[in-house]
Amino acid sequence: MSRITIPTSPFDGQRPGTSGLRKKVTVFQQPRYLENFVQALFDVLPDAAGLTLVVGGDGRFHNRVAIQTILRMAAAKGYARVLVGQGGILSTPAVSAVIRRHGASGGIVLSASHNPGGPEGDFGIKYNVANGGPAPERVTEAIFERTKVVREIRTMDTADISLDTLGSQHIGSTEVLVIDPVSDYAEVMRGLFDFDAIRKLFAGGFTLRYDAMCAVGGPYAKALLEGELGAPAGTVVNGTPLEDFGGLHPDPNPVNAEDLIAHLFAADAPDMGAASDGDADRNMIVGRKFVVSPSDSLAVIAAHATLVPGYRAGIAGVARSMPTSTAVDRVAKALGIPCFETPTGWKFFGNLMDAGKVTLCGEESYGTGSSHVREKDGLWAVLFWLNLIAASGKSAEELVRELWAQYGRCVYSRHDYEGIPTEQADALMRDLRASLPTLGGTSIAGLPVDFADDFAYTDPVDGSVSQKQGVRIVLTDGSRVVFRLSGTGTEGATLRIYLERHEPDATRQDIPAQEALQPLIALAEMVARIRHFTGMNQPTVTT
Ligand code: VG1
Ligand code: CO
């Protein structure tokens, strides 16, 4: 059993995107592809003597193979200890919880999150730092630079360890501890929510359908909802993680979780529905015959946070990604707390949470979370809603309608154009950016433009600057259209167009979103010539 060095040469394109390096499984299956990236990561990290690393993934195809490779390389790097989830399983929020509770120096998450899995699907890897959150841009950029020059892989010539046996094993002098994937995470949840109140809610006949989408959320949801909180068996559906997610697309939105939506709109609908994604950091909340938008979910959570024990003392502030609707801004203003606007991606929330500036964060992409960990957290959001419903006696729909009554409704939609040839998507963004200086103060499609810019963010904690984070066209009444290219896709480019309009008039709040947003949709086409550049007449996904 000894250390070995394997010669290698760099692969192009190993730059982490919005949330780690994501590629087709077949790309990761190339000899040394994963090894190169992990070596680049270990090369930019300091000496690992005495340190603990956490490793786990969402159980998708290639997870176990990748974990064995990483464990050997971690031993060669010289970690004192590696904590790995049993079966190679750890949800993304669970990795964050384990890093924090065990004082680890960081963690490696194997996931392509909401992207489909299986041999033809996607795989991914990302690194989280000691606060439990995604590595900041300066770290991911350093890794990328290193991938361009990596020449040797340092590993061990050892056999695979058993990922299924709980307890301690060794690779060289590194202890590999296989841990229960759920227990640390469950302990964090117990400390935040009123489990007795939620137990009473279920005991009183409240019904929930939690669709884990055959992904990693299942074991967590089953253990907590059915195991501890008394929800009847069968509350969690698609609860066993499968390597290909049962062929489903594990993205909890009304399009990909259509089966859940159908159940919530049926005559015998349960009181509430929920779903989580591949790595269980996203969530969708559905009321009976009522879909809750992620931006509204964040606002409702912020408005009623003090009903939940872990937040009883109040929240320090909130943050949302720039394209997320301004619903939470309005709540923050009423509460007299700051609201921060960050670029897309959870890594931008870490500093704000570490500095105690914000307690709650959210994104329009079905991501909500708080400073209890440093990742968004799907089951946390579901428990939050259950606690709110138990404490207020109101339904999900009533809570949202109250929000609209008090603050107006931020009518919202996202249009995704997927699989655009990269050059065409780049050309669209280039033309759009070039037109920005001429747009402010003009009228487009009869709509007066207040300003148009490319969002840039200066981190208020460390002063780091992130440029070109999305083109926004903001009208004089605050309505917005935002354009950006996805940083998580693996095929061509995906154009995301985010549309938001504030509707204070209660009699108009039930107009279907696509209808209410029609003027903005027309504006988007006019300024960006989407049909011309993409050759598509309509979005591939509308949420
Ligand atoms: C998307 C979402 C973004 C989210 C990211 C990671 O990124 O828009 O809000 O943080 O996915 O989520 P992009 O660059 O494709 O728009 V997950 O659950 O895939 O880790
Ligand atoms: Co995810």
The whole-angstrom separation of Cα 210 and Cα 381 is 12
CA of 230 to the centre of ligand 1 (A): 33
- Cα 282 to ligand 2 centre (Å): 5
**For residue 18, which atom of ligand 1 is closest to its CA?**
14
On whether both 80 and 120 belong to a single domain, the answer is yes
What is the full DSSP assignment across 291-360? EPPHHHHHHHHHHTGGGSGGGTT--S-EEEETTS-THHHHHHHHHT--EEEE-SSGGGTHHHHHTTS-SE
Rounded to two decimals, the pTM is: 0.96
Find, among 299, 308, 284, the residue nearest to 190 by Cα.
308
Residue 122 Cβ < 6 Å to ligand 1: no
Q: Is the CB of 277 under 6 A from ligand 1?
A: yes
Domain end call among 378, 407, 436? 407
**Same domain flag for 486 and 415:** yes
Name the residue of 15, 348, 466, 488 to mutate for ligand 1: max ligand atoms within 8 A of Cβ.
488
Active site residue 113: yes
CB of 276 sitting under 6 A from ligand 1:
no
Considering the domain architecture, whether residues 226 and 352 belong to the same structural domain is answered as yes
Could you give the ipTM of this predicted complex? 0.98
- Residue 18: CB within 6 Å of ligand 1? yes
Q: Is 375 close to ligand 1, i.e. is its CB under 6 Å away?
A: no
One digit per residue, pLDDT tens: the chain, 543 residues? 689 999 999 999 999 998 899 999 999 999 999 999 999 999 999 999 999 999 999 999 999 999 999 999 999 999 999 999 999 999 999 999 999 999 999 999 999 999 999 999 999 999 999 999 999 989 999 999 999 999 999 999 999 999 999 999 999 999 999 999 999 999 999 999 999 999 999 999 999 999 999 999 999 999 999 999 999 999 999 999 999 999 989 999 999 999 999 999 999 999 999 999 999 999 999 999 999 999 999 999 999 999 999 999 999 999 999 999 999 999 999 999 999 999 999 999 999 999 999 999 999 999 999 999 999 999 999 999 999 999 999 999 999 999 999 999 999 999 999 999 999 999 999 999 999 999 988 999 889 999 999 999 999 999 999 999 999 999 999 999 999 999 888 889 999 999 999 999 999 999 999 999 999 999 999 999 999 999 999 999 999
Q: Is residue 12 domain-shared with residue 93, that is, in the same domain?
A: yes
Residues 383, 293: one domain? Answer: yes
Residue nearest to atom 5 of ligand 1 (CA): 345
Kindly state the tokens that stand for 37: 């990236």
Ligand 1 binding pocket includes 363 (Cβ within 6 Å)? yes
Final residue of a domain: which of 350, 384, 407? Answer: 407
Question: Residue 203 maps to which CATH number?
Answer: 3.40.120.10
Does the beta carbon of 377 sit less than 6 angstroms from any atom of ligand 1?
A: no
State the ligand closest to the CA atom of 364.
1
Q: What number does the ligand 1 atom closest to the CA of 365 have?
A: 9
71 and 200 fall within a common domain:
no
Nearest atom in ligand 1 to 496's CA: 16
What count of other Cβ atoms lies within 10 Å of the Cβ of residue 142?
A: 16
Atom of ligand 1 nearest to the CA of 17: 14
Catalytic residue among 96, 113, 276, 466: 113
The verdict on 244 and 364 lying in the same domain is yes
Q: Is there a single domain that holds both residue 423 and residue 531?
A: yes
**Residues 374, 364 within the same domain:** yes
372, 407, 442 - which closes a domain = 407
* 196 and 331 inside one domain: yes
CATH number for the domain that contains residue 421: 3.30.310.50
326 and 444 part of one domain: no
The phi, psi pair for 389, rounded to 5°, reads -65, -40
Q: Best of 344, 361, 373, 417 to mutate for ligand 1, by most ligand atoms within 8 A of CB?
A: 344
Domain that holds residue 403: 185-407
Structural domain total, the chain: 3
Q: Are residues 58 and 194 in the same domain?
A: no
